[in-house]
Structure 1
Amino acid sequence: MSATTVTPAITSFSADDLARHLPELGALLRACVHDGASVGFVMPYGVDDSEDFWRAKVLPSLSAGGLMLFVAREGDAIAGTVQLDYDTMPNQRHRAEVRKLLVHPAFRRRGIARALMTELERHAQRLERSLLTLDTRTGDHAEPLYASLGYRSAGTIPGYARAPHDTERFDATTIMYKAL
C-alpha cells in the first residue's frame, strides 16, 4: 500500500459496535503489538489476548459512558482506533486522557492517526474538556506526531514499561498534554 494521505471514514463506536467488530479490533491490536507498538502488551501476544483486552478493558468503560472509541475505516477494513477516556474525578471534569492510538501497520503513513486525533479533540471540546493528556514510549514514532498536533512534553519517566519484544528491557515514557 502506498504512503498516500487519505481522509478515512471515522465513526464513534458504541458498545454494540465493539461487540460486533470484536474480531477485527482484536486483529488490529494484535498486528500493532506484533509490529512493536508499546501499548501495554508483551510478546507472546495472541488473538485471544487481543479480544480479551477489548472485551474486558474497553467494553465496560464504553458501556458505562466514560469512554469514547473512535474507529477509522478504509473501505470495509478497520484501519485504526483511538480512545477518549473522560471518566474523571469531580475535580478533573475539565480534562480527559487519550488512550491507545492504533493504526494497523498496513495503513500507516496515510494521515489516519492525525485524523483520529483531530476527531477525538473535536469530541473532547464538545464534552467541555479543555485539557488532554497522554503517555507514549519515549522516542517512539508517535511522539513527533503528538508534538505536531500541539501536544507538549511534561517530562519523562525512565523504566516505565517493559518493551514488547524484549521483556528484559524497560522503556521510558513521555507524558504529554494539550490545552484545547
Structure 2
Amino acid sequence: MSIRTFSAADIAERLPELSALLHACVHDGASIGFILPFERSASDRFWLHNVLPAVERGVRLLLVAEIDGQIAGSVQLDWDTPPNQAHRAEVRKLLVGPAFRRRGLARQLMVQLEVQVRRLPCRLLTLDTRSGDHAQPLYASLGYQVAGSIPAYALAPACDSLDATTIMYKQL
C-alpha cells in the first residue's frame, strides 16, 4: 500500500477510479454529503468541480491510498478558511472503498494527513462525522476531541432519516 498526494492532473487522469471510490462509499451507506440515488455523473462532478479546482488553487490536499496500483481510499485537507482562521484546516471525506476496509487504511490516511498538515501554518484540525458512525472511534483514537453534537443535522444517504453529526477537533 502506498499513500501519495494527488495533483489536479492526477485527479483528471484518475477520475474514473476516484468517482468509483466515492460512488461505492455512498452506495455502502457513507454519510459524506450525498444521498441516493447517486449517479456516477454526480461523483464525476464532485471531483471535477469541487476537489480539482481547490487543489489547483493550493487550498486543498488530496491524499490517495493505492493497493497494487488501484485506488483504495482517500482523504482531503481543506484550509480555504477566512483570514481569522488561517491556523485551522478541515478534514474532509475520508473514504475507504468497501473492498479495502478493515486493513487500517483509514488510520494510515489520517496519520499521513497529519504529517502533511504540519508543513502548513495550521495548528487546529476540525472535522464532522455522523454521530455513532464507525469512523468516530477512529478519530478519537487519533486524539480528536468531541466539541459537541448537532441533532438532525443531515439527511441519511437513503433519505429515510435525519442523522446527528459530531463535531471533533485536534490541536497539533
CA-based RMSD: 0.7
Would you say 1:23 and 2:13 are equivalent positions?
no
Q: Distance in 2 between matches of 1:91 and 1:122?
A: 23
Q: Distance in 1 between matches of 2:116 and 2:81?
A: 16
Q: In the alignment, which of 65, 69, 75 is matched to residue 82 of structure 1? A: 75
Shift of 1:93: 1.3
Name the SS for the 1:150 alignment partner: coil
Would you say 1:169 and 2:161 are equivalent positions?
yes
Between the two proteins, what is the percent identity of the paired residues? 62
Q: Which residue of 1 aligns with 2:170?
A: 178
Q: Distance in 2 between matches of 1:116 and 1:163?
A: 25
Shift of 1:60: 1.0
Name the SS for the 2:103 alignment partner: coil
Name the SS for the 1:62 alignment partner: helix
Q: Distance in 1 between matches of 2:69 and 2:14?
A: 11
Q: Which residue of 2 aligns with 1:9?
A: 2
Written as runs of structure 1 = structure 2, the 5 A alignment for 1:146-157 is 146-157=139-150
Name the SS for the 1:140 alignment partner: coil
Deviations 1:84-129, CA, capped at 9 Å, x for gaps: 0011121111110000000000000101001100111111111121
Q: Unpaired runs of 5+ in structure 2? A: none
Deviations 1:6-58, CA, capped at 9 Å, x for gaps: xx200000000000000000000000000000000010011111111111111
Written as runs of structure 1 = structure 2, the 5 A alignment for 1:27-106 is 27-106=20-99
Q: Unpaired runs of 5+ in structure 1? A: 1-7
Name the SS for the 1:116 alignment partner: helix
Q: Distance in 1 between matches of 2:57 and 2:123?
A: 22
Shift of 1:168: 3.6
Q: Distance in 2 between matches of 1:144 and 1:158?
A: 19
Letter in 2 for 1:60: P
* Runs of 4 or more above 6 Å deviation: none
How many residues are treated as equivalent by the alignment? 172
Name the SS for the 1:126 alignment partner: coil
Instruction: State which drifts further: 10-19 or 81-90.
Output: 81-90
Letter in 2 for 1:174: T
Q: Which residue of 2 aligns with 1:4?
A: none
Q: Distance in 2 between matches of 1:160 and 1:176?
A: 15
